[in-house]
A and B are shown apart, each in its own frame.
Chain A
Amino acid sequence: MMRILEKSSVLLPVVVILALLSMLGHGAYNHLADSDPLGLSYRGSVLETTLNTLVIVGSATTISAPIALLSSILFLETSTSSSDSGRSFARIMRRIMEVGASLPRLVWGVAGAVLFGSLFGLGVSAATGIAALACMMVPIMFNSFVDGLLSADRMYRPQLSALGIDANHAVRSVQFRAAMPALVASTIMAVGRGLGDAAVLLLTSGVSFVILSGLNESASPLAVQIYVLTMDIGGGRGEAMLAAVILLALTSIVQGLVLFIQPIDRHDRS
């Protein structure tokens, strides 16, 4: 009985991915056969929202990665300091960032709309979306960066101390080189989360399927386009399928990069 359950539960992921691929492939093929979805229309095209996605997620990553990195350095500096207050500060900082990472994307969307849209006066625009998305990505990156840097710190600090290299920046320099794969993989994973995000961007950057011409204008990424075309626009299911295929391809490329940098099953390969 358990064997049957084990075998069928191992097969389930393969069945789900095949069903998903055939559903998307069939829907996108039918849409391509029926119309000219890449051509400009009154409501924009999948090509334009793909570019919007890359611009919004790229900008949010450019903002959030250095901030998360400096924040994780601050955490390491204080957590390895000799003073009790420094270590307490690091503990509190880590807890706050863990809470931030555990908050649902919807909370970040609503909070981003209030802070950047209302209080800062950016309204429903690409700028609000980028800022809210960057805010959501920072805690995710921070926690991964800290884990990567701490494991490198544990690996190299005793050796460097034994060699008499005590200067903090020397330790950090070695630590950063050792942690680089983890840092890059964490950033790419956060990009993957950003690419698929719809909750934050639906509430902050609004609905517009044409390519953004300024940061103060609304611009939808692929994920929002899929949601709106499916749920709110009659007859939009075919175009949503095409957008879904492109989104799946983008997230698969991102996931492939992560697996290339950090293979999951290293143990099995050795």
Chain B
Amino acid sequence: MPALKPSWRMVLIFGVGLIPPITVIALVLLLAIRAVPAFQTVEIGMMLSASWAPETGAFGVLPLLVGTVFCAFLSTIACVLVGVPAAVSLAFFASTSERRVSILVLTVLASLPSVLVGLFCLELVARYIGLSVASGVIALFLMTWPSFTLVLYARLRQQGGQIVDAARALGIPERKAVYRLVFQKIRGDLTLAATFTLGKGAGEAMAVSFVIGNVPHAGFLPALFEGAHTLTTMVLKNHGAASGEHLGMVYVAILILGALIVFINVLGAFLASKLMKNR
């Protein structure tokens, strides 16, 4: 990088460098300002009600929030159940060629655009189990599981090698050493990866909207094999056509979504740091 004169250098760095953080704050504030009228006209009791039907003036966002967390939670459980054995196998037991191929494919899957995952689920998953929450969960799983597995694999390779070698020398079965000792050591990283996956699942819109049905569900908790709405699919489907109170509630929903994801990430970082300290 060519050396700039100090004054110009500082002006350029401060002038342009401050734009991004200011933009992030401005955008969040702007959404909050747009949501204020909805808070003034729609009662809190209505927002917490079990019905989202804008055409009748029912703006219960709580079922949408519950639906979002429910889908993201189920997909995260699936990620852990499938990702942990895959990461263990790749890190310690797979042959070099098996590892290279699997990691390459996982990397390609992790970078797939969400519309491709949505299209895939629409053609091959929803055809058999319908446009439903279950299809949405599978779409979320496909969006998040490759990254989860790759992150966990990297941590296992970094932290587990010495433990497994020591276990071998002591005659402790390798799998027992991995699942008992190595996971004891990386439980903070596992928590962080799982909460990050939960946050990513909660914020995903496109892939889910292909297959979840995009209809408000009855009650707070959606049924697994029926159509539903999440916060993201509602915003995606309603933003263009909404006006007045309805548009205000779309901004409220997007603020709730942002706050939920920041909360999940902060909670994950807090839990992970606690677990790492107690290692």
Contacts and interface: CB of A to CB of B under 8 A. Distances in A.
B16 A70 contact: yes
Nearest to B92: A6
B109 interface: yes
Contact of A99 (B24, B30, B89): B24
A77 B34 CA distance: 36
Interface in A67-111: 67-68, 70-75, 77, 92-93, 96-97, 99-100, 102-108, 110-111
A219 interface: no
Interface in A31-69: 66-68
Chain B CB within 10 Å, residue with most, of A96, A97, A173: A96
Interface string B1-43: 1011000000011101111110111111011001000000000
A70 to B, nearest CB: 4
A248 interface: yes
B118 A17 contact: no
Contacts of B265: 102
B116 A227 contact: no
Interface string B249-270: 0110010011001100100000
A13 B100 contact: no
Interface stretch (B45-53, B57-65, B205-213): B205-213
A173 to B, nearest CB: 6
Contact of A227 (B14, B24, B115, B179): B115
A205 B31 CA distance: 19
A202 B146 CA distance: 26
A13 B122 contact: no
B185 interface: no
Interface stretch (B164-172, B186-194, B215-223, B232-240): B232-240
Contact of B175 (A2, A107, A115, A251): A2
Interface stretch (A134-142, A157-165, A210-218): A134-142
Contact of A203 (B103, B112, B239): B239
A261 interface: no
A155 B257 CA distance: 39
Given A6-B89, A106-B203, A114 B30 contact: yes
Contacts of A199: 114, 205-206, 236
Contacts of A139: 20, 24
A197 interface: yes
Nearest to A255: B111
Contacts, number: 220
A89 to B, nearest CB: 10
A233 interface: no
Given A9-B89, A176-B1, A67 B16 contact: yes
Contacts of A114: 30-31, 34
Interface range for A: 35 or more
Given A17-B105, A67-B20, A115-B27, A230 B85 contact: no
A107 B16 contact: no
Interface of B: 1, 3-4, 12-14, 16-21, 23-28, 30-31, 34, 82-83, 85-86, 88-90, 93-94, 96, 98-109, 111-116, 118-120, 122-124, 142, 146, 157, 175, 179, 199, 202-206, 209-210, 232, 235-236, 239-240, 250-251, 254, 257-258, 261-262, 265
Interface of A: 2, 5-7, 9-10, 12-14, 16-17, 19-20, 23-24, 27, 66-68, 70-75, 77, 92-93, 96-97, 99-100, 102-108, 110-115, 119, 135, 138-139, 142, 169, 172-173, 176, 192, 195-199, 202-203, 223, 226-227, 230-231, 240-241, 244, 247-248, 251-252, 254-255, 259, 264-265, 267-268
9 contacts: A5-B85, A7-B89, A16-B142, A23-B124, A75-B17, A106-B205, A106-B254, A199-B114, A231-B210
Given A135-B27, A248-B116, 16 more contacts: A2-B179, A13-B102, A23-B120, A73-B13, A75-B17, A99-B24, A100-B23, A102-B262, A104-B258, A106-B236, A110-B235, A112-B27, A199-B114, A199-B205, A240-B119, A267-B157
